[in-house]
A and B are shown apart, each in its own frame.
Chain A
Amino acid sequence: MNNTIEIKELSVSIEGRSILENISFGLQAAGIVCLLGPSGCGKTTLLRCIAGFEKQHQGEVWIKGVRVSNPAHQLPVEQRQIGMVFQDYALFPHLSVADNITFALNKQSEKAVKQRLDELIELLSLQKHINKYPHSLSGGQQQRVALARAMAPRPGVLLLDEPFASLDVELREQIARELRLILKQDSITTIMVSHNQLEAFAMADVIGVMNNGQLSQWDNAFKLYHEPETHEVADFIGEGVFISGEVINEKEVKTEIGNIQSFAAHGVEQGKKVSVLIRPDDILHDDDSRMTARVRDKAFRGAEFLYTLELESGVRLLSLVPSHHDHPINEPIGIRLEIDHLVIFPEEA
């Protein structure tokens, strides 16, 4: 067993309802994985099951080569050597920041405790807050304290439940990147849960997309975006629309807006009808192009506009266009298709 975390065929049902079905994955030491999915997909239950707050009726959880739970026997939470950061941090209001952080270290020598405390304070930039109490800290500061507290005993795995939910939106991405650095620096294996893709992209080495209690795809961000394996994953990750197409040959698909080539064989039979994923960055604005579409809606995003375009057939597309091209609604604009990754799914009957 080389993986630090190993989940085998984990299934959890609560009050007769199936929450998790046959989840299996492994995570290497110091790896960071994000379980990504919409609300209700079961990701929090999975986290809690690994922590030991929920019980599974099938499957096993292994942490650092030790089987911590199976349906018959679960190691108590306090013995699993996990660290957890809750969505609202749950700092101990009656303890100072320093005491919060060293909470789990009460059995160690004073020297060892001081050393670890200094390390973490340095790592998380908490020098100014050591003696403060939680109620006087900002959200971001509380998060760092909660993190330091969870990391202090060097847990086998760190579990983060929607860690950015309570933070200001603009800061999230930046904080996510900083957090990633910190976790890498301390070499902590981390499982994070989120419904927000940008955070997942910024933080994780690997992302597990979950839907309805099942693991849809386990891949890095790039692949998830450009090579989604199922319709749902494609739908969930990034933005885009599906248009219908027909397979011409093993590397080419015909669509309303043109023929699309792929590098590798896509594996679908000739002549079959397929859904083709068109991302906003696949549609370029080209004044010289003969193909036009009408602007139906536009969303200003600072650097770009996200245009909702409508073809004559009524099919709608999304296009990301640099924002100094400000076209009014209903104006037709020229577009050009430029797809590097062809993503198609056979159309269901």
Chain B
Amino acid sequence: MRSAFKTRNIMLVFLASLFSIPLFVVLGSVLFPEKQIWAHLYDTVLFDYVGNSLSLVIGVGVISLLLGVIPAWLVTMYRFPLSKQLEWALLLPMAMPAYIIAYSYTGVLDVAGPIQTSLREIMDWQYRDYWFPEVRSLGGAITMLSLVLYPYIYLLARAAFIEQSVCVLEVSRTLGCNAVDAFRRVALPLARPAIMVGLSLVVMETLADYGTVQYFGVSVFTTGIFRTWFGLGNSLAAAQLSALLLVFVVMFLYLEKRSRRQARFHHTSSRYSALMQKQLHGGKALIALVLCAAPLTLGFIIPVMFLCDWALETYLVVLDKDFYLLLFHSLLLAFVTALLAMLLALFMAYSNRNDGSLINRFLVRFVSMGYAIPGTVIAVGVLIPFAWFDNTLDAFLRQHFNISSGLLISGTVITLVFAYLTRFLAVSINTVEAALVKIKPEMDEVAKIAGLRPVSILKRIHMPMMRGSLLTALLLVFIDVLKELPATLILRPFNFNTLAVRTYELANEERLADAAVPALAIVLAGIIPVIMISNSISRSRAGHE
């Protein structure tokens, strides 16, 4: 028993260190201050970066909270026309990369696009005669990101609402709460840990976005890092900017943890009855429908419509052998990474649970910060040590055995997967941990007394209870990898392209029509798992099983 304990600990330390390497590289850069560059940055653009990034985060945070929580509640507690379909449909924008929706809406709403052009023709206006919201702005970026990121919150909020004890809600009604009050004072606070997890994912995704803000001309940390790194050629300063970015993230995570500390959210009712949904009629049903349909329409239906339109124009040319190879690579890569991420997350979360020592907890938290580091930064943070390893090994072998091993790991898919894991482990870990929190330790004790070994406990008791969450973790990472751009751009091996890279290149070439097909492929590949997840969540209400 003791040796197993120790091995697990060592493994945990090893894994955590491994995945923290990029983080250390970034943080380590702080030790080499670059006064001149920083003076320049401070004088010119630093405040822009900070200000815009902050605005972006706050804006996206607030809007995606609204877009995620309200429909989650409506769809869980009430029945209205299309509510059953909306349950899973509301997740669809998650399959859409942010920059794709940015390009689509720009194509549609931009000053040269169909809407404004028709408007000018019909009203016989010139450009300056009317006001039209500018898509390519900070506000536009906030909107685009919110539309694409709200599903994270929706997903987690809905899972939380479904798992809530009916009794608690009924009790609140006996204490004088009407439906809105019950939501506001009971359901919402109880769902808060899950919602906060969703929110932190949203915040981290927002801070890591590059494609959207770059296209919209918004100066934030990521564009600044790129610029400093490549434009000014100063990798050190860029790494330091990344470190600054991380400070923001850490602050946010800390605030989130603190707010969760006191109230513990073990379920206090072990009795569950079927959640009885209330049927809505007339005006109320209409309002509910609109509130739920809006995010879906704006975040998915409209962009997809336009993408389909463009795809129909170009698919004959685009769908060739090359394209299918692309598809295969993308899907395989995403699946393998997602699986690895889930297994690693399970291991880490369990190590934490069984031995919640400060060190373990800290290590796991540390690894989770990988999510906040932009893909590019991670890529280089991965490239350097791997190349160093390869080069050192090669030199060593050359010296002693006269063989050249060349580049073993760098330039292969391993590097790419490693970079993905560094970035996306946070997603799996957070989801798995949120699920584990809900399983009372007493259950483990009961099982141990019954003679079950830890692995059996995992398989027979925890797994069924966590199935929905595990599937969620798998799906989230799968889709994230499918959509990932900057790290893939940098690290991919020869003759290896992904859908995301192809889409980005074409879109950046302002060949949106050609980009539509791979973009749609990404979306389609992401849809089926989305539906699967939603189903498994509805069914995971203990009481059904």
- A residues adjacent to B (C-beta < 8 A): 51, 53, 76-78, 82-84, 86-95, 103-104, 133-135, 142, 149-150, 153, 155, 159
Q: Mark B184-223, 1 if CB is under 8 A from A, else 0.
A: 0110011010000000000000000000000000000000
| Beta-carbon contact of B175 and A93 below 8 Å | no
Contacts of A78 in B (CB 8 A): 173-178, 181
Closest A residue to B262 using CB positions: A133
**Interchain CA distance A86-B272 in the complex, whole Å:** 12
Contacts of B172 in A (CB 8 A): 92, 103
Q: Mark B156-183, 1 if CB is under 8 A from A, else 0.
A: 0000000001011011111111100100
Q: Is B257 an interface residue (CB 8 A)?
A: no
Q: Is B270 an interface residue (CB 8 A)?
A: yes
Closest A residue to B171 using CB positions: A90
Q: Is B264 an interface residue (CB 8 A)?
A: yes
Q: Is B271 an interface residue (CB 8 A)?
A: yes
Which of the listed residues A84, A86, A91, A95 has the most CB atoms from chain B within 10 Å of its own CB?
A86
* Other 13 A-B pairs with CB < 8 A, given A77-B173, A134-B268: A53-B170, A78-B178, A88-B167, A88-B271, A90-B165, A90-B268, A92-B172, A93-B264, A93-B265, A93-B266, A94-B192, A104-B175, A153-B176
Q: Which of A76, A86, A134, A142 contacts B171 (CB 8 A)?
A: A86
Contacts of B357 in A (CB 8 A): none
Could you list 13 examples of A-B contacts with CB < 8 Å? A78-B173, A86-B269, A88-B167, A90-B170, A92-B186, A92-B190, A93-B265, A94-B189, A94-B263, A95-B189, A95-B263, A149-B175, A150-B175
**Interchain CA distance A51-B173 in the complex, whole Å:** 10
Contacts of A94 in B (CB 8 A): 189-190, 192, 263, 265
| Beta-carbon contact of A86 and B167 below 8 Å | yes
**Interchain CA distance A94-B175 in the complex, whole Å:** 16
| Beta-carbon contact of A90 and B168 below 8 Å | yes
**Interchain CA distance A51-B167 in the complex, whole Å:** 13
Residues of B in contact with A, size category? 20 to 34
Closest beta carbon of chain B to A51's beta carbon, Å? 6
| Beta-carbon contact of A135 and B175 below 8 Å | no
**Interchain CA distance A134-B269 in the complex, whole Å:** 11
**Interchain CA distance A135-B271 in the complex, whole Å:** 16
Which of the listed residues A83, A87, A94, A149 has the most CB atoms from chain B within 10 Å of its own CB?
A94
**Interchain CA distance A14-B186 in the complex, whole Å:** 29
Q: Which of B167, B175, B264 contacts A133 (CB 8 A)?
A: B264
Contacts of A83 in B (CB 8 A): 174-175
Closest A residue to B182 using CB positions: A78
**Interchain CA distance A84-B166 in the complex, whole Å:** 14
Chain B 529-545 interface residues, beta-carbon cutoff 8 Å to A: none
Chain B 260-283 interface residues, beta-carbon cutoff 8 Å to A: 262-271
Given A77-B174, A78-B176, A103-B172, decide whether A93 and B192 contact each other with a Cβ distance below 8 A: no
Contacts of A104 in B (CB 8 A): 175-176
**Interchain CA distance A104-B181 in the complex, whole Å:** 11
Closest beta carbon of chain B to A45's beta carbon, Å? 13
Contacts of B264 in A (CB 8 A): 93, 133, 135
Which of the listed residues B165, B168, B270 has the most CB atoms from chain A within 10 Å of its own CB?
B168
**Interchain CA distance A94-B164 in the complex, whole Å:** 13
Closest A residue to B265 using CB positions: A93
A-B Cβ contacts below 8 A, count: 79
> Which 3 pairs, one residue from A and one from B, show the smallest C-beta to C-beta distance?
A104-B175, A90-B167, A94-B263
**Interchain CA distance A103-B175 in the complex, whole Å:** 7
Closest beta carbon of chain A to B426's beta carbon, Å? 25
Contacts of B262 in A (CB 8 A): 133
Q: Which of A93, A133, A134, A150 contacts B174 (CB 8 A)?
A: A150
Q: Which of B186, B189, B269 contacts A88 (CB 8 A)?
A: B269
| Beta-carbon contact of A84 and B263 below 8 Å | no
**Interchain CA distance A93-B265 in the complex, whole Å:** 6
Closest B residue to A48 using CB positions: B170
| Beta-carbon contact of B176 and A93 below 8 Å | no
Q: Which of A87, A103, A135 contacts B268 (CB 8 A)?
A: A135
Closest B residue to A134 using CB positions: B268
**Interchain CA distance A150-B172 in the complex, whole Å:** 10
Contacts of B175 in A (CB 8 A): 78, 83, 103-104, 149-150, 153
Closest B residue to A95 using CB positions: B263
| Beta-carbon contact of B190 and A82 below 8 Å | no
Contacts of B170 in A (CB 8 A): 53, 77, 84, 86, 90
**Interchain CA distance A88-B168 in the complex, whole Å:** 10
Given A90-B168, A92-B168, A93-B190, decide whether A51 and B268 contact each other with a Cβ distance below 8 A: no
Contacts of B190 in A (CB 8 A): 92-94
| Beta-carbon contact of A93 and B171 below 8 Å | no
| Beta-carbon contact of B174 and A84 below 8 Å | yes
Closest B residue to A84 using CB positions: B174
Closest beta carbon of chain B to A101's beta carbon, Å? 10
Closest beta carbon of chain B to A5's beta carbon, Å? 15
**Interchain CA distance A330-B181 in the complex, whole Å:** 67
Contacts of B192 in A (CB 8 A): 94
**Interchain CA distance A139-B264 in the complex, whole Å:** 17
**Interchain CA distance A104-B186 in the complex, whole Å:** 12
**Interchain CA distance A83-B175 in the complex, whole Å:** 7
Closest A residue to B174 using CB positions: A84
**Interchain CA distance A104-B177 in the complex, whole Å:** 8
Contacts of B268 in A (CB 8 A): 88-91, 93, 134-135, 142
Closest beta carbon of chain B to A172's beta carbon, Å? 19
Closest beta carbon of chain B to A19's beta carbon, Å? 15
| Beta-carbon contact of A51 and B270 below 8 Å | no
Closest A residue to B267 using CB positions: A93
Which of the listed residues B176, B181, B265 has the most CB atoms from chain A within 10 Å of its own CB?
B176
Closest B residue to A83 using CB positions: B174
Closest beta carbon of chain A to B442's beta carbon, Å? 11
Closest beta carbon of chain B to A66's beta carbon, Å? 16
Closest beta carbon of chain A to B165's beta carbon, Å? 6
Contacts of A95 in B (CB 8 A): 189, 263
**Interchain CA distance A142-B269 in the complex, whole Å:** 12
**Interchain CA distance A149-B177 in the complex, whole Å:** 14
**Interchain CA distance A103-B271 in the complex, whole Å:** 22
Closest beta carbon of chain A to B163's beta carbon, Å? 13
**Interchain CA distance A201-B148 in the complex, whole Å:** 62
Given A86-B171, A94-B189, A104-B175, decide whether A133 and B263 contact each other with a Cβ distance below 8 A: yes
Closest beta carbon of chain B to A146's beta carbon, Å? 8
Contacts of B168 in A (CB 8 A): 90, 92
Closest beta carbon of chain B to A106's beta carbon, Å? 8
Contacts of A91 in B (CB 8 A): 268
Closest beta carbon of chain A to B387's beta carbon, Å? 50
Closest beta carbon of chain B to A298's beta carbon, Å? 33
Closest beta carbon of chain A to B291's beta carbon, Å? 22
**Interchain CA distance A228-B36 in the complex, whole Å:** 98
Contacts of A135 in B (CB 8 A): 264, 266, 268
Contacts of B265 in A (CB 8 A): 93-94
Given A88-B268, A90-B268, A92-B168, decide whether A76 and B263 contact each other with a Cβ distance below 8 A: no
Contacts of A84 in B (CB 8 A): 170-171, 174
Contacts of A155 in B (CB 8 A): 174
Contacts of B270 in A (CB 8 A): 88
**Interchain CA distance A134-B266 in the complex, whole Å:** 10
Chain B 133-172 interface residues, beta-carbon cutoff 8 Å to A: 165, 167-168, 170-172
Given A92-B168, A94-B263, A133-B262, decide whether A51 and B174 contact each other with a Cβ distance below 8 A: yes
Closest A residue to B270 using CB positions: A88
Closest beta carbon of chain B to A16's beta carbon, Å? 18
| Beta-carbon contact of B186 and A76 below 8 Å | no
Closest A residue to B165 using CB positions: A90
Closest B residue to A158 using CB positions: B174
Contacts of B181 in A (CB 8 A): 78
Closest beta carbon of chain B to A157's beta carbon, Å? 11
